[in-house]
Chains A and B, each alone.
Chain A
Amino acid sequence: MIMRGARTLATPAKYLALAAYLVFLAFPLLWLVSTAFKPPQEMALIEPTIIPENPTLENFRLAFDQQPLARALLNTLIIAGVSALVTVLLSIPAAYVMARYRSVVSRMTTLWVLLSQMFPFILVIIPLFLLLRDAGLYDTQIGLIIVYVVWSMPFALWMLRSYVAGIPAELEEAAAMDGAGRLRTLRDIVAPLLVPGVVAAALFAFVSAWNEFLFALVLLRTPELQTISLTLVKFIGAEGVARLGPLAAAALVATIPSLVFFAIIQRRLVGGMLGGAVKS
């Protein structure tokens, strides 16, 4: 009885807290939508409105007319998707080794993971650029994918290692008793339990590749190869002056796919598979 009373009281509080979080985190989406439909005369009002007084689709027309947005979105989708896939596929087994083997490789990898994140990326850009150029990867999307995989792997390894460490070793030992090798143990016992961590790592790899700007800028020259973040910055001029309308329209077009992708993952993957894996 007491429990139930506490619960009914707690639930509205929970929704309220969640609403506060979402206002803080998601209001930019509202701003983006609002700005994307505003004519230039409504951009510089002293009391900005949320709902445009004279809504217009002109910004979308300008954005698509002046920049190859569709092409850039497709490019980015491929680059980010492949980067995320490769990162996860390479990281799961390696993270397992890091967690379960006390070897030189595990320790060197840990060292590399931390060092690669501690040393500022901005100072690695030039040596990395020269390396890719010499490998014939200048102005190629493969080159960019390689950079993104290598850039996301420390995070993926580091997180997955800690998720593996959280899985009781007894589970594996039982499997080993039954004669299963490392590879089979990983596939049958460990991997299913890793799903939430893998989703987190894949999301991270996808989003970092989707949003990355500086390396794409220096590596890609051909306009047809460019990614969405390179396209967006073309709407910003000297002294930080931006063509806000087309920029917001283009940014909205770039944001919606990732949000839809997130939503699908949330509904299907995390909700469904995980519920099955851990619960029952």
Chain B
Amino acid sequence: MRRATIVSATVLSAGLVLAGCGSGDDAGTGDGGDGPVTLTFQSLAFQPESIAANQQIIEQWNADNPDIQVEYLQGDWASVQDQLVTAFEGGTAPDLIHYESSYLQDFADRGWILDITDMVSSELRDDILGGAWEAVTFDDAVYAVPFLLDAQVIFANKTLLDAAGIPVPAPDDPWTWDEFAETSKQLTDADTFGVAWTLKDPANRMLNLALNFGGGFFEESDGASTVVFGDGEKEAFQRIYDQLYVDKSAATDAIGMGGSDPLPGFFAGQYAMLPKGIWFRQQIIDQAPEGFEWVTIPALKGDSQAQAAAPQTISIAAESEHPEEAMAFLEYMLNPENQALLAKGDWMIPASSAAAQDPILTETPDWPVAAASGEFLEQAPFQRVRGYEEWKNKVANPSIEEYFANSISLDELGTRLTEDGNEILERYNR
């Protein structure tokens, strides 16, 4: 009797599944046939200005192209990964997907997004910066069009700088790390820390800073990646550690902060300088109390000012029924004029070189500093390592947090990053 229930339940559910198998694509998008094609575009735009820019671009396109209508869907950064994974598994993904370059390799390996190498027009190819293209190219195949770039800069409390008599460096003559350490010490007193390093989820940030000293963290041979932790990799760690625990010019209460957490301390003058991404300008402008004066300082120079380019991107779903139409829209959406609008809406740097000259961008606060930082964006080794995400979550983030909490030594950190890390990468190298 008991067996009978289990069997009938199984048969019933199996029947359901089988019944649905043939109709897997009816949940997809697009209409086919002779009517107008409908494309779905999921954007992660978040600031009102940026959402408005997206919608304006789409409305214009829809008016100009009655045969290809684009439907705007709004996603969100916090849950987009879960949503996309499920949607790809279920065949219900949007035709056009806004995301970030670091996830593209996994998505491409899983066959979820389209190789668009041969679909990109030469105008678009020439307009977009080489470094940005590199970030979306894996094994010679292009999987997205990059459009928004972030760059690390330092925001500073202008009043405190002036009081200490510290001049703001010009974009073409940035501070070295030594000068920065010295300045931080100068700005530190009983009420103020020279700098607030916000290091929540620190791996990306630290790997990015290590590029200043040529620290690449990963070596590749025969298609297999291994983690290395030599002098180049150590440098930035040691310097920030010294600021925290030797000079005591960096605030220890800020290391667990992320997002807009450091703003109260920054506005109150507890932190004189705040290293952050260029997009953070918007947060400061939005929330700064009246009379608060601030300035943007160019990224620091180690052996170089190199930074990793991790652009926001738009990809076409592999299961899209109308890839050509989707690409046509993408060409329009990411033309220089529109990229300038989008970059302005999100306070970021456009990947389009023509858009970067657009007055609507060049007139935003401290634009020259932002643009100058953008010039040093390049492809970083960690961006092509398979298994980087797992290495980052399981090994790098936790052990870097322990290092900056002063509970493990730099050598111990190195051992964990390399030995524990290589164990994880091994599975991906097979």
Contact = CB atoms under 8 A, between A and B. Distances in A.
Do any beta carbons of A and B sit within 8 angstroms of each other in the complex?
A: yes
Interface of A: 40-41, 43-46, 48, 62, 66, 104, 108, 125-126, 129-131, 133-136, 138-139, 213-214, 217-218, 221, 223, 233-234, 236-243
Given A126-B89, A217-B82, A221-B92, A236 B77 contact: yes
B264 A45 contact: yes
B290 A41 contact: yes
B27 A44 contact: no
A247 B27 CA distance: 32
Contacts of A236: 46, 76-78
A131 B16 CA distance: 8
B398 interface: no
A213 B78 CA distance: 12
Given A237-B47, A237-B77, A133 B259 contact: no
Contact of B5 (A66, A104, A221, A223): A104
Nearest to A108: B5
Interface of B: 1-2, 5, 13, 16-17, 19-21, 23-24, 27, 40, 44, 46-48, 51, 73-74, 76-79, 82-83, 85-87, 89-92, 258-260, 263-265, 267-268, 270, 279, 283, 286-290
A40 B287 contact: yes
Nearest to B285: A40
Given A46-B265, A126-B90, A131-B20, 12 more contacts: A45-B267, A45-B268, A45-B289, A46-B267, A126-B85, A129-B90, A139-B27, A213-B79, A214-B79, A217-B79, A233-B76, A234-B46
A44 B86 contact: no
A126 B260 CA distance: 34
Given A131-B16, A134-B17, A135-B20, A217 B83 contact: yes
Given A134-B17, A134-B23, A239 B83 contact: no
Contacts of A234: 46, 74, 76
By secondary structure, the A interface counts as helix
Nearest to B52: A66
A217 to B, nearest CB: 5
B86 A41 contact: no
A110 to B, nearest CB: 14
Minimum-distance CB pairs A-B, first 7: A134-B20, A237-B46, A46-B268, A44-B263, A240-B259, A218-B86, A238-B77
Nearest to A67: B74
Nearest to A105: B5
Nearest to B94: A221
Contacts of A139: 27
Contacts of B16: 131, 134-135
Contacts of B268: 45-46
A244 to B, nearest CB: 8
Contacts of A233: 76, 78-79
B287 A41 contact: yes
A133 B47 CA distance: 32
A62 B51 CA distance: 13
Contact of A130 (B40, B73, B89): B89
Contact of A240 (B85, B258, B270): B258
Contacts of A41: 287-290
Contacts of A138: 27, 90, 92
A125 B289 CA distance: 45
A213 B268 CA distance: 36
Given A43-B287, A46-B264, A134 B21 contact: yes
25 contacts: A40-B286, A40-B287, A41-B289, A45-B267, A46-B270, A66-B48, A66-B51, A104-B2, A129-B86, A130-B17, A133-B92, A134-B21, A134-B24, A139-B27, A221-B73, A233-B79, A234-B46, A236-B46, A236-B77, A236-B78, A237-B46, A237-B76, A239-B258, A240-B78, A242-B259
Contacts of B1: 104
Nearest to B9: A108
Nearest to A213: B79
A239 B85 CA distance: 20
A130 B259 contact: no
